[in-house]
Structures are given as structure tokens and as C-alpha cells.
Amino acid sequence: MSRTLACAAVLLLCAAAPAEAALPTRGALVPNRSLGGVRLGETPAQVRAVLGSSHGVCRGCARTTWYFTYRAFDQHGLAVELAAGHVSAVYTLWQPAGWHAPRGLQLGAAQGQISELAGTLLPIACSGYEALVRDSSTARTVYYVVDAKLWGFGLLRPNENPCR
């Protein structure tokens, strides 16, 4: 009987459709490494493997920018910028619910919690918001602040301007 069950389980696994790549509902920032599973330097094919192929394209952006959102015409999601055929920046759009960083830092957190949980960050004033950044040799990690609340995350090339 157990052999029959084992064979049935194998058949079910083989017949099951592979999981569709999609924007994560609880995306994570891994400082200096990835955002929503996307890493700097990845190819468009690698991005599609992580986020799927359903995305909008920014018409007025200086760089090719893909918008991955939860529903068509929804503003919440993730933007991926491409330069020379590789990811050059990735950042959240409109404070998507459930997105987080290490040590329990959640989008929507009070500004005081950002430094407490993320460590020392360099403030950069942008038009209408503030970008708190930390640079490494491989990336610039950005915490976007609007009205003293954590509004978004970003991962850019080292020393790149975080004001988008």
C-alpha cells in the first residue's frame, strides 16, 4: 500500500504545474543584496524568473523601467530599472503592505525606528521626501521617508542618486 501511495505522490508532483513567478506579497529588503528577490546586475530574464513577465513599462523614464504591481493599474509594487541589459536599481512603489527589512523593520514604521533597526544612515534631501542611505562597495541601500514614516525601500548602484 505504501508503494502505491508513493507512486501516486510522485505522479501528482510531476503533473502539478510549476509555481508562477510573481511579485511577493511580503517582499523583503536584504541590505546591499536584494529587494523582492531581485539583485543588482541581473538580466531581464532573471528578473522575469523571479517576478514573472506581467509588468508595465515606464514611458517617460530616463532608463528602461519595469513596474510590477499587484493588479493592473495598481500603484503598489516594485520598480526595476535596467541599464545596458542589467538591473541598475530596484525600489518599492507606493508603500506596498507587508514589505520588510531585517530586525522587523516594516514599511510604515516611524522614522525613529529606522535608525534604531537599520543602523547609522546618511540622510539625503529629495523633493518632498528624504532618502536615508548606506553605501557598500556593491550597492546603495535606501530607506525612503515621507512625513516621518518609512515609505519605501531601494537598492541602487553604489553612490547613485536616490532621488527618483
- Could you tell me the residue ranges of all domains in the chain? 19-156
How many other C-beta atoms are found inside a 10 Å radius of the C-beta of residue 140?
24
Residue 53, pLDDT score: 94
Residue 19, pLDDT score: 56
Q: List the grid coordinates of 124.
A: 539625503
pLDDT tens column, 97-114: 999 999 999 999 999 999
Confidence of residue 10 (pLDDT cuts 50, 70, 90): very low
Question: How open is the CA angle 27-32-35, to the nearest 5 degrees?
Answer: 20
Q: List the grid coordinates of 34.
A: 536584494
Residue 9, pLDDT score: 36
| Mean pLDDT computed over every residue of the chain | 89
pLDDT over 60 at 132, yes or no: yes
Global pTM value: 0.86
pLDDT over 90 at 93, yes or no: yes
Length of the chain: 164
Work out the average pLDDT over 55-80.
Answer: 94
Per CATH, domain 19-156 is 3.90.1150.10: no
Q: Which helix (H) or strand (E) holds 4?
A: helix 2-15
Work out the average pLDDT over 7-29.
Answer: 61
Confidence of residue 85 (pLDDT cuts 50, 70, 90): very high
Residue 73, pLDDT score: 83
Radius of gyration of the chain (CA): 18
CA distance 144 to 135: 15
The set of residues, in sequence order, having a beta carbon less than 8 Å from that of 19 and lying 6+ positions away, is none
Confidence of residue 6 (pLDDT cuts 50, 70, 90): very low
- To the nearest whole percent, how much of the chain has pLDDT over 70? 88
